[in-house]
Amino acid sequence: VGLAAPLLLQPFIFPSITGEADIPWYGRYSVKANLWIGIFSFIGNYWYTHYFYNVLEAHYTMPSWDLNGVPIPMYFGTHFYFCFYHVLSNLALRKTYSSLERGVLRNIFVCSLVFYMSYVTAFMESLTISGFPCYGFKDRFLAYTLGSAFYGLYFIVSFPMFLRLDENPSKRSYSSFDAAVEALASGMAVLILLDAVRVWLGADLTFRLNRPCKLDSSLTCEPFNFKTC
């Protein structure tokens, strides 16, 4: 909660930070961006996490209240990380669009850049989170390689879609409703891609409301050993 709170509260308490103090709260880019990322990251936790449980045999083992079998703190942590990732992707894509002339070569470069940023983002998160003892995989090498490509599917869709938000306000100004609709559409697109990979791999999909460590306290991570998570 502490990670996401400053981002969620800034548009309402300190709108001058983003130069939006004179804009009604519902028209501020920071509000719409938070809404977009909030919806997309919620879908990611609520739905996509179960694909990692099934395809990569990932597991969270820290004590926490859960929502649909996913620790609630992860919903807030994901919002923070996704805001950071999408700010960086916007910077890279804007630089590309403003530096290269419109045409086939620019389109190819943009697609290649999105694929590259998506995989690198996913791989770096997988690598850096490896030091966290309460999140793991059955096969860590598989998680770094196939898992990063699997996770990267999120961003192949979301990076270019998030860039659309108020990118050309003179041509189209997004409402909060527009932002919500595009975030939901992006979420559905990612879900289809993840499920296509699952089907291709021949992995069954099951949803568990209780993480294994809630049923077996010996699976809870340090320093909470032998406490039901």
Q: Which of 227, 59, 48, 46 is nearest to 129 (CA)?
A: 59
Angle between helices 29-43 and 72-99 (to 10 degrees): 120
Reading the block at residue 109, the tokens are: 């470069």
| pLDDT, position 226 | 73
Model confidence at 194, pLDDT cuts 50, 70, 90, reads very high
Handedness of CA 59, 86, 72, 40 (dihedral sign): negative
Residue type, 86: H
Over 80: is that where the pLDDT of 225 sits? no
In this prediction, residue 130 has a pLDDT band, given cuts at 50, 70 and 90, of: confident
Task: Read off the pLDDT of each residue in 19-29 and give the average, rounded to a whole number.
Answer: 91
Alpha helices in the chain (DSSP H): 5-13, 29-43, 49-55, 72-99, 104-128, 140-163, 176-201, 212-215
Residue 167 has pLDDT above 90, yes or no: no
Nearest CA to 164 among 59, 86, 80? 86
Beta strand segments in 7-159, E? 59-60, 66-67, 70-71, 135-136
What mean pLDDT is predicted for residues 95-121?
96
pLDDT at 88 over 80: yes
Q: Which segment, 24-28, 52-56, 88-92, 205-209, is predicted with the most confidence on average?
A: 88-92
- Could you give the C-alpha distances from 104 to 100, 107, 108, 116, in angstroms and in order? 11, 5, 6, 18
Query: Is the backbone peptide bond immediately before 223 cis, with ω within 30 degrees of 0?
Result: yes
Read off the pLDDT band of 143 (50, 70, 90): confident
Extract the tokens encoding 23.
């804009």
Closest among 64, 65, 73 to 45, alpha carbons compared:
73
At residue 169, does pLDDT exceed 80?
Answer: no
